[in-house]
Structure 1
Amino acid sequence: MFGEGRIVKIINPLSGKTPTYVKNSAHFVSLVQAMRPSPNMQMVSFDVVSLFTNVPTTEALSIVRTRLESDDTLPERTTIPTDDIMELLTFCVTTTAFQLGDDYYQQTEGMAMGSPLSPVIANIYMEHFEELALQTAPLKPSLWLRYVVLWDHREDITPFLDHLNSLRPSIQFTMETEVDNKLPFLDVQVEKSEEAFRTSVYRKPTATDRYLNFKSHHPDTVKKGRECDSRPVDQP
Structure 2
Amino acid sequence: MFTPLKCLAVGSTTTVASAKQFLERVKHLKLEPNESMVSFDVVSLFTSIPQQLAIGVVGQILSVRYEEIDKPLRSDHMLELLRHCLKTYFIFGGQMS
TM-score range, shorter chain: 0.5 to 0.7
Matched, 1:55 2:49: yes
Show the counterpart of 1:104. Answer: 96
- Quick one: which amino acid aligns to residue 75 of structure 2? T
User: What TM-score, normalized to structure 1?
Assistant: 0.27
Q: Which has the higher contact order (CA 8 A, sep 6+)?
A: 1
CA displacement, residues 92-146 of structure 1 (integer Å, 9 cap, x when unaligned) = 323x3121224433xxxxxxxxxxxxxxxxxxxxxxxxxxxxxxxxxxxxxxxxx
Unpaired runs of 5+ residues, structure 1, are 1-5, 32-42, 106-236
The one-letter amino acid paired with 2:52 is: T
Deviation at 1:15, TM superposition (A): 2.0
Q: Structure 2 vs 1, CA of residues 15 and 104 (structure 1 numbering), >3 Å: closer, same or farther?
A: same
**CA separation in 2, counterparts of 1:48 and 1:27?**
13
Alignment-derived partner of residue 63 in structure 2: 69
Match of 2:84 in 1: 91
Distance 1:50 1:70 in 2: 21
Match of 1:231 in 2: none
Larger Rg: 1
More strand by share: 1
The answer to whether the 8 Å contact 1:10/1:77 transfers is: no
Q: Which has the higher helix share?
A: 2
Query: Secondary structure in 1 aligned to 2:90?
Result: strand
1:54 aligned partner, one-letter code: S
Q: TM-score, normalised by structure 2?
A: 0.53
Structure 1 contact 14–68 (Cα < 8 Å) conserved: yes
Q: Percent identity?
A: 21
RMSD: 3.9
The 1:63–1:99 alpha-carbon spacing in structure 2 relative to 1, beyond 3 Å, is: same
Structure 1 residue 84 displacement after superposition? 2.7
User: Which amino acid letter does the alignment assign opposite residue 92 of structure 1?
Assistant: C
Alignment of 1:1-236 (within 5 A): 6=1, 8-24=2-18, 25=20, 43-44=28-29, 52-72=46-66, 74-75=67-68, 78-94=71-87, 96-105=88-97
